[in-house]
Amino acid sequence: MNIKIGAIIKKLRAENNITQDVLATAIGVTPQAISRWEAEGGYPDIELLPALADFFSVSTDELLGYKLSQREEEITNIKKEISRLAEVGTIEERITFARNAISRYPADFEIKENLAVCLYHLWCDTKNNDLIKEIENLCSSVVAECKDEDTRYDAINVLINIYGGTKQVEKAMQSVNLLTPMKYCREFAKSSGIGDGNTEFYIQDEIDKLTDCLGTAISNYPLADELPNDPSTWDRKIEMLTISNHLYKMIYGDNLMFYHVRLSQNYWLISTYQISQGKKDETLASLEKMCYHAIEYDKAYINDHGKFYTSIFTDKLIYPKPNKDFHELTEHTNCYHMLDRLQNKRYDCVRQDSRFVSIIERLNQHAK
């Protein structure tokens, strides 16, 4: 039988973003030996097979080419379940699942980063500082060894959040400095033209990403810890959220497709301040706009993936299907989530109003 163990080792290394140097150190050989195996210039000694299998959390059978597809399928299913639980699971369920997944695949950096995120959310809820060291260890491992830039950057952001939340300013800044400055990002570089005839698309892609970054930043501004949540700030916060909505409409026009979800969120936030001010009519008007954009987003999610935006700034861009670089909630509709928010007792003073009742009825038609 033609044993392709070198190709399998190379594949496992690539999947787990492990360098030849790291693997060599872990099993006690030279990087040159790893390189030779992967080039099919020789095989590892038989006594090294258990160490190799343990390192990659596979069986020796898999290492020799058996059942590798089964392992890949299991990892794919694990990551699908991680995504599902991120939307509908409790934080405890997510942590338990991630820990079990890591026990099976301890070298998988994406699972490690997910566990770190879950633990960070638990820390946010409990302020249990016993969690911090584990979060640091998980993220530091990913940052030091993972070659997938998205997973690595996600881990860096978790470190920034935990250090910022615990007032470890120096460590937070050290982590920030691991990220690439905005002026050097690939979107900026490509929008200047790289000679492939796609400069107009690259410019629109840059506009798209900058718009959503700016719109989201403006929407997050009212929620910043440094901006007190008292009546003196509410009009200012409403103005910020209104400007965010204008920004999306200016760039995308009426054909917002995905970005209806941003406006639905903003109008809901606006309503929370208006209801606190006792402005019932204004609250209901904002909730009606929230309802409209929530429904339009849910329709777009069903019907519009793959279609082009139509404004002069975005007509070269399509509304993509959910992927590694474009995340959408998939377990429930936006209307479902908005209905949940309207259960808050802050809305009791308008709950019997015919306009509020109509909003609930319309959302229910699209909620699942």
Question: For the chain (length 368 residues), average pLDDT per consecutive 10?
Answer: 76 85 90 90 87 82 70 85 90 95 89 95 94 96 90 96 95 95 88 92 95 96 85 95 97 96 98 97 98 97 94 95 74 94 96 97 95
> 283 burial class (0-12, 13-18, 19+ CB within 10 angstroms)?
buried
Domains along the sequence of the chain with CATH:
5-66 (1.10.260.40), 82-179 (1.25.40), 186-366 (no CATH)
**Is-contact 199 242, C-beta < 8 A?**
no
pLDDT of residue 17: 79
**Is-contact 219 265, C-beta < 8 A?**
yes
**DSSP SS3 for 45:** coil
**Two structure tokens written together for 290:** 């929230």
* Separation CA 150–CA 170 (nearest Å): 24
pLDDT of residue 282: 98
From residue 14, how far is each of 10, 44, 64, 151 by CA, in Å? 6, 18, 17, 14
pLDDT of residue 68: 55
* Separation CA 184–CA 170 (nearest Å): 24
> 297 burial class (0-12, 13-18, 19+ CB within 10 angstroms)?
buried
Beta bridge partners of 323: 326
Among 46, 64, 52, 58, CA closest to 7: 64
Q: How many CB atoms lie within 10 A of CB 292?
A: 16
pLDDT of residue 175: 97
pLDDT of residue 1: 39
pLDDT of residue 13: 86
**Is-contact 52 27, C-beta < 8 A?**
yes
**What sign results for the dihedral spanned by CA atoms 321, 324, 330, 335?**
negative
Q: How many CB atoms lie within 10 A of CB 178?
A: 14
Which residues are CB-neighbours of 334 under 8 A, at least 6 positions away? Answer: 261, 264, 294, 297, 298, 301
Which residues are CB-neighbours of 313 under 8 A, at least 6 positions away? Answer: 204, 207, 251, 252
CA atoms within 13 A on the CB side of 15: 20
**DSSP SS3 for 341:** helix
**DSSP SS3 for 326:** strand
pLDDT of residue 91: 94
